[in-house]
Amino acid sequence: MPSTLPTLDQRIDKRKVELLFENVLVSQAFSIVNATIVVLLRYDEQPIEMLIWLSWVMLAVALRLSAAHLFKTRRDQLSDRKWIRLKGALALLSGLIWGAGGALILRTGSPWAVMVSAFTIAGMSAAAVPLLSAELEIYVVYATAMLAPCLIALLTLPFTKWTATVILMTVLFWVTLMSSARRFANALKREVEREAELAVARDLAEEASRAKTAFLTNMSHEIRTPMNGLLGIAEALNLTELGDKEAELVAVLGRSGRSMMAVLDQILNFSQLESGHYQIARQQCSPAALVGDVVRMYEAAARLKGLDLHHDLAPDVPEYVLSSPQDISNVMTILVGNAVKFTDSGSIDLAVWSGRQDGRDMLYISVADTGPGIDEPAQGKLFTPFTQADDSLTRGFGGVGLGLATARRIAELMGGRIDVESTPGQGSRFFFAVPVTLL
């Protein structure tokens, strides 16, 4: 399997950088509002200092908004780790600017200045916990750059009960913030890791599915070519004079070859459906002609088993509709073929009628049999690929368990659905509903 999928660490970094660059506009608006309030409150006492500081705050805001825009428009130009380092550098710059502003105010020593600075710095540093803790180191750098200058400024003031109390509260607040940020970061890390692990598992499963589909397609084509040759030889031998034993052997060869070709067709159809390359080709078609073709296909097989194969076309079925005749025929062939295969006695009834559902014209097809029936638990896995309701059926009747899975996927691609009703010992009824355009 090609090793082109992102590693778990790469996925974690990808999610981290997405979280770091979320809500940048809101956070920077909050920063501008806070800075403006501080300037208005302190302008009379420190006009020049406040204007210079506000200009630095606006510069940091502009840089962070520019980085967010670049991330949104040119993300692929840098690796996730480089984006994280850029975010860290801008957070450091912003933290230093706010820390310098706080220290500038605190140096005045007035209780009013201390209160303004404390509330502002506390609010900014606390609000950054959910915004920057995706990468804990970034938050630690930001909070330290913001709080350390304030603490230094407090330590340069005359030592009083007031300053001692503020210093103690600042240290306690710092410790509490670091603890909260660490817990938040750990919880976020676990969530991001779970998301990344699920994404890795999903991608590996999809890669395996694509590899399986490619293998099935290639093998089916490889087997189909020599099988066509064998069928051609069998048909050629049928045209020669053969003894009874030889004729019987050639007939067995032909039946076996056609059975193998049917299995290959199912595998090819299913691999196309899984790979997303299956095309629905809509064109004018006759429901009556499609039903007639399917009935003629299975009349002989039903007669050999002593089964009555009935078909009923309701009078309201239009003569022509616009749909995909090949796909309608494929689904009917699967449903009728299964009914003939698994029914040992009784009858098979193919019914077709039309109607409207959710504002759409619909064609309804029902295939009912008097076979063994299917219990409710087994019905749940009927449409699962490579699965049959009863594993013993595979041994008794053959098949790879792709028919109904293919039929359901075709029905869903056409905008329709397939359902089943069944009672053990009484038989089964499959319903196929497909939207059509009346002509």
pLDDT, tens digit (0-9, with 9 covering 90-100), for 144-168: 898 888 888 888 878 878 778 878 8
Partners of 419 in the beta sheet?
Answer: 431
Provide the pLDDT for residue 216.
67
Provide the pLDDT for residue 397.
44
**Number of C-beta neighbours around residue 28 at 10 A:** 20
What gap in Å lies between CA 340 and CA 261, rounded to an integer? 18
Residue 105 vs residues 66, 98, 109, 112, 162: alpha-carbon distances, Å: 29, 11, 8, 10, 16
Provide the pLDDT for residue 395.
43
Tell me which residues of the chain have a pLDDT lower than 70: 1-5, 109-110, 113-114, 213, 216-217, 220-221, 259, 262-263, 266, 271-272, 274-277, 385-401
Give first-to-last CA distance, the chain, whole Å. Answer: 49
What gap in Å lies between CA 336 and CA 330, rounded to an integer? 10
Provide the pLDDT for residue 288.
94
Provide the pLDDT for residue 221.
67
> Is the distance from CB of 97 to CB of 62 less than 8 angstroms?
no
Burial class (CB in 10 A: 0-12, 13-18, 19+), 156: exposed
Token code pair at residue 308:
């009555």
The enclosing H or E element of 322 equals strand 321-323
Provide the pLDDT for residue 322.
93
Provide the pLDDT for residue 398.
47
Backbone angles phi, psi at 365, to 5 degrees: -130, 130
HSE-up of 207 (CA within 13 Å, CB side)?
12
Burial class (CB in 10 A: 0-12, 13-18, 19+), 368: buried
Report the candidate in 236, 265, 274, 276 with the shortest Cα–Cα distance to residue 253.
236
> Is the distance from CB of 259 to CB of 306 less than 8 angstroms?
no
Provide the pLDDT for residue 388.
56
The enclosing H or E element of 238 equals helix 161-238
Provide the pLDDT for residue 37.
86
Provide the pLDDT for residue 4.
63
- Coil, strand or helix at 7: coil
**pLDDT, the chain, mean:** 83
